[in-house]
Chains A and B, each alone.
Chain A
Amino acid sequence: MKVLLVDDEEELVTTLAERLSFRGVEAKWATAGDGAVELTEREPFDVVVLDVKMPHLNGIQLKKILERIRPEMKFVFLTGHGSEEDFRIGSAEAEHYLVKPIDIETLVATLNEVAG
């Protein structure tokens, strides 16, 4: 399974990518929308994990752009807020929605479920 992680917190995405590699998941990462678009244009991913709140392009806006490039990709949203409003937006916009801090085994199980 190939996963793209997008979060403006570089330490978070790089560490998550490393942890996923210990579990046999190939993960690439980007810290902003333009990097994510570049990677997606270059290669397809089974699942994209997106932070909802990011500067410039937020997760919801970025999802729409990435969907146009690769309509077959699936999405999981991440947030550090966990407010009712975030949950409403996140769950309406993506197949799955996880609140930070994430349990890595829950993330792997979610990725497997979403990727089918």
Chain B
Amino acid sequence: MTTTDPVCWRSVSEEGLRFFGEMSASVSHEIRNKLAVINEKAGLVQDIALAMKSGRSIDPDRLALQAGKIIEQIRKANQIVGALSRLAHSVDRSGIRIDLADLIGLVVELYGRKAAQAEITIDAAVPADSVSLITSPFLLQGLIGACINLSMPRVDDSRIMTIAAESCSDGAVIRFQHLAGISESDTDLGGNGAGARAILAMLGGRVSADGRHGELVLELTNQEEREGGSQP
């Protein structure tokens, strides 16, 4: 399969859409939860104010406390929307040098809710500005997402999946660590992994499993750098 193969492009597009849909659904759920809390907190402020108006003695600090909590929920919601916005703006960029710490951090943030639901923690262990790669950030985010989805049910008893990255001669290596029972059969990227495999081919990557160290290993090569990071 080559990157000009229409079947490959179709698989890549479908996987990209699937990934974006998954992230949008997760973020919208999280925003809705934050709005629900803000709704209740604002309602409680009204309840307290009404009770005070009708002569009940209530510590005014209760109002200040709830107002502070509303501000905190808005800050968290804003952070989640910011992450989705960064993902959305990465769609039309390709062939640009990216900081893997930054990109992996974003994907980990977007997967926060899904990880919490699975009762695991995802830890991005990549120091800032330590590993860079010339690639298509959106497709790489989708590929990392596919690797997280594959790895999540295999996280060992530590309940912590660590994502590490290191530079290599012509690119970078990303490791999904603390996985139990990972084997070469997992390198097809799951039963519905055709889209992820197409992205892998397009990014010139390779996936392998290191059962002895409990790692899924994603090797990526630098793409051709493009001026301004335009659409390929």
Q: Count residues of A near B (Cβ-Cβ below 8 Å).
A: 18
**Interface contact A101-B36, CB-CB below 8 Å:** yes
Q: Say whether B29 faces chain A, with CB atoms less than 8 Å apart.
A: yes
Contacts A19-B43, A19-B47 given: A80-B117 contact, CB under 8 Å?
no
How many contacting A-B pairs (Cβ < 8 A)? Answer: 56
CA distance A12 to B73 in the complex (A): 11
B63 to chain A, nearest CB (A): 12
For the complex, what is the distance from the CA of A11 to the CA of B36, rounded to whole Å?
10
**A9 at the A/B interface (Cβ < 8 Å)?**
yes
A20 to B120 alpha-carbon distance, docked (Å): 33
Q: Within 8 Å of chain A (Cβ to Cβ): is B118?
A: yes
Nearest CB in chain A: distance from B32 CB, A: 4
Q: Across the interface, which residues of A come within 8 angstroms of B38, CB to CB?
A: 101
Residues 1-50 of B contacting A (Cβ, < 8 Å): 29, 32-33, 35-41, 43-44, 47
A37 within 8 A of B: no
| Contact between B29 and A19, CB atoms less than 8 A apart | no
Q: B51, A12: Cβ atoms under 8 Å?
A: no
On chain B, the residues within 8 Å of A80 by CB distance are: 29, 32-33, 36
Contact of A16 with B by CB under 8 A: yes
Q: Is A109 an interface residue (CB 8 A)?
A: no
Question: What residues of A have a CB within 8 angstroms of the CB of B117 in the complex?
Answer: 53, 55
Q: How far is the CA of A32 from the CA of B151 in the complex (A)?
A: 25
A55's partner among B37, B44, B119 (CB-CB below 8 A) is B119
Q: Are B32 and A18 in contact (CB under 8 A)?
A: no
CA of A65 to CA of B66, assembled, Å = 34
Nearest CB on A from B133, distance (A): 33
B69 within 8 A of A: yes
| B43 / chain A contacts, CB cutoff of 8 Å | 15, 19, 104
CB-nearest residue of chain A relative to B118? A55
Contacts of A64 in B (CB 8 A): none
A12 to B37, CA, bound (A): 5
Binding site for A on B (CB under 8 A): 29, 32-33, 35-41, 43-44, 47, 51, 66, 69, 73, 116-119
Q: Which residues of A contact B (CB under 8 A)?
A: 9, 11-12, 15-16, 18-19, 22, 53, 55-56, 80-82, 100-102, 104
User: Would you list 28 pairs from A and B whose C-beta atoms are within 8 A, ordered by A residue?
Assistant: A9-B33, A9-B36, A11-B37, A11-B41, A11-B69, A11-B73, A15-B37, A15-B40, A15-B41, A15-B43, A15-B44, A18-B44, A19-B40, A19-B43, A19-B44, A22-B47, A53-B117, A55-B116, A56-B119, A80-B29, A80-B36, A81-B29, A100-B35, A101-B32, A101-B35, A101-B36, A101-B40, A102-B40
